[in-house]
Amino acid sequence: MSTTTELDFIHRYEPETVIGSPPLLMLHGTGGNEHDLVDVGRVIAPGSAILSPRGKVLEGGVPRFFRRLAEGVFDEDDVRRRANELADFVEEARERYGLAKPVAVGFSNGANIAAAMLLLRPGTVAGAVLLRAMVPLKEMPKADLHDTPVLMLSGVMDPIVPQENAARLALALTERGADVDHRLLPLSHGLGQADLSLSSDWIARR
């Protein structure tokens, strides 16, 4: 299905082809767009509905979901505003398309906005796959994430996301009640086949 400007985000929507499959909210990384992760969604959850918005922030002319001040340094006021804006879009899209709560699948910047949305607007999504995520806020709110499953996949050779930072996010989500499965993969920041296989297996168990 083609891109649409309806609702508050430019986005791509593909309806489910297998009844009962969990819908996916696909959140691209820096420089991506609403088409970037659609094929990933098809691989990890065949038959699922796919909702894929384009980030509204431009950095050097390419889309992101929130502003940053430097590599790894986020504009935290913008993170909060954009996470709430994205959560509002998810609720509107669910009503428009008749969707159950989606599982967020985010890569890099998309994983970071997904983590922020989990913390700031718990209950918006049914769970999350966070691919190369890092701590989105220095002071993370005391959200209630009980019964929220989260898969985090981090790369041990990732030059962008320090292992300590990813571990701190996993701990923060766990402390707030999320059921976190954090895996360290022998990869860099880019995605590999292991990301797809582990994500697919995890989603199949939801």
DSSP secondary structure string, 40-101?
HHHHHSTT--EEEEPPSEEETTEEESS-EEETTEE-HHHHHHHHHHHHHHHHHHHHHHTPPP
Residues serving a catalytic function are: 108, 158, 189
**Tokens at 181, concatenated:** 């499965």
> What is the pLDDT at residue 171?
98
> What is the pLDDT at residue 99?
97
Mean pLDDT rounded to a whole number for the chain: 96
Q: How confident is the model at residue 2 (pLDDT cuts 50, 70, 90)?
A: low
Render pLDDT for 92-149 as a digit per residue (tens, 0 to 9): 999 999 999 999 999 999 999 999 999 999 999 999 999 999 999 999 999 999 999 9
> What is the pLDDT at residue 86?
98
Domains and CATH numbers, the chain: 3-204 (3.40.50.1820)
Strand pairing category for 179-185 and 103-107: unpaired
Q: Rounded to the nearest 5°, which phi and psi values hold at 185?
A: -110, 150
Rounded to two decimals, the pTM is 0.96
Alpha carbon of residue 35 to chain centroid: 15
Q: How confident is the model at residue 3 (pLDDT cuts 50, 70, 90)?
A: low
> What is the pLDDT at residue 131?
99
> What is the pLDDT at residue 5?
64
Cα separations in angstroms, 150 against 78, 111, 176, 191, 203: 24, 11, 12, 18, 10
Distant-in-sequence, close-in-space partners of 143: CB < 8 Å, separation ≥ 6: 118, 119, 120, 122, 176
Render pLDDT for 184-193 as a digit per residue (tens, 0 to 9): 999 999 999 9
> What is the pLDDT at residue 72?
82
Strand pairing category for 50-53 and 24-27: parallel
> What is the pLDDT at residue 49?
98
> What is the pLDDT at residue 153?
98
Q: Rounded to the nearest 5°, which phi and psi values hold at 184?
A: -105, 125
> What is the pLDDT at residue 7?
84
Does 1 score more than 60 pLDDT? no
% of the chain at pLDDT higher than 70: 97
Q: Helix or strand or coil: residue 26?
A: strand
Q: What is the mean pLDDT of residues 177-187?
A: 98
% of the chain at pLDDT higher than 90: 93
